[in-house]
Each structure stands twice: as structure tokens, then as C-alpha cells.
Amino acid sequence: MTQTNGRILTISRMACANIPTAYGDFQLCLYHNNHDRKEHLAFVFGNINQKSNVLTRMHSECFTGDVLGSQRCDCGQQLDTSMRMIANEGAGIIIYLRQEGRGIGLLEKLRAYNLQDQGYDTVEANLMLGHQADEREYSIAPLILQDWGVQSIRLLTNNPLKLDSLRQLGVIVSERVSIETPIHPDSANYMRTKAQRMNHLLTLPFVAPAASLISNGHHHD
């Protein structure tokens, strides 16, 4: 059972459909819940019902990266890599949580991008807009795992905070699986900030930042 603000959370699986992809056939399932008005999703490959150590990605929505292929972040690459790794595994699940921009929404993320173009890093930009560095929360995720009978997971993440958050919600995480993707000049500052200021477990070779993102004195590398 998951609670938030003293309220018991519930979800309802509304529909599932087969989605052929470059990596094979996934099932896409849409959930309603009594916590927010967002339609959270599960993208499932193979048989995960009542299984343990299921390869799992908790992926927060990123329109710019997931849909447009933006190279300002690694989100789209992480989603694609997760699909490939899960397909190669033969079974797994991507829980797609609708919390754009680390929970601040697309409008505020675009405003944060404009601040980043002035030289502020992603943490500074969020704080300047009155937000926390990361406002995501994962209370819906355990319920989706329970809906599939998943006993424990191997979590595809570089983010220790995500790992800790899920364990605090009662998810049994048997292993953290690294998910590193190539770093582009346009994402170099962003990736460096994730590693240095948000403690993401990343290997960071030197990559010269794009000219438009070069610090003007506000960046705290």
C-alpha cells in the first residue's frame, strides 16, 4: 500500500495495446490514479508477471528528449537504451512517469533552459525559478509494479536518489544497473552538473561544451 499526504493511493489499468518497435513488441498500458490527473504508463516486454529481479527503468517524461531527440539532455538516449537492454534481456518494464522537467513541467523547463543559456546550470536555474533541484516523486511506481506482480527489480539508473526513493516506498531493488549514454557537446554541462551537484554515478570524459552553453561566470563546475 502506498500513501501520500495521508491518502491511500490507488491505480486502475485502463487499457493495454501491442506496440511494435525496432527492438520487438512491447505492451503499452495506461493507468489512471487518484493522486493526480496524469496518465502514467507501463511499457512492458516479455513475461514479467510474478517475476523477481525484473530489469526496470523508471523514466520521467521528457518531451524535448524523448520526442524531439534534443541533445541538451540524455533522456531520449536513456529511453532508447532502456528499450534495447530490456529487449535483449527478454523481459522487463519501463514505467513512464508524467513528471516533465524533474517535476516542474514543460513551461518551467523551457524557462530554465533560457537561464541555462545565460550560463546557469540546471540546478541553479530551477532554484532561480522557485523550484527544488528535483521535484520528482515515485509513489505511483510501486503500484504499477504490484499490478504486474513484480517481486523485485534491477533498476536501470545512475541516480542514487531514485534508488533510495523507491526503496523507501517498499520496492525491493536487488541491483542497480548503470545506463550511460554518449555525451554530446550540447549536453556536457548538464551531465557534469548531474555528476557533481546531484551525485549521479557517471563516467565523465572531458567534452568541450557547445559555445552557446559556455559559462559566463555563473556556472559552478
CA atoms of 221 and 133, how far apart (whole Å): 16
* Start-end of H helices in 17-70: none
SS3 (DSSP) at 13: strand
In degrees to the nearest 10, what's the CA dihedral of 104, 77, 174, 140?
Answer: 30
- Give me the catalytic one of 57, 136, 147, 197: 136
134 catalytic per annotation: yes
- Give me the catalytic one of 66, 74, 121, 134: 134
94 DSSP 8-state letter:
E
Q: How many CA atoms lie within 13 A of 188 on its CB side?
A: 17
Active site residues: 134, 136
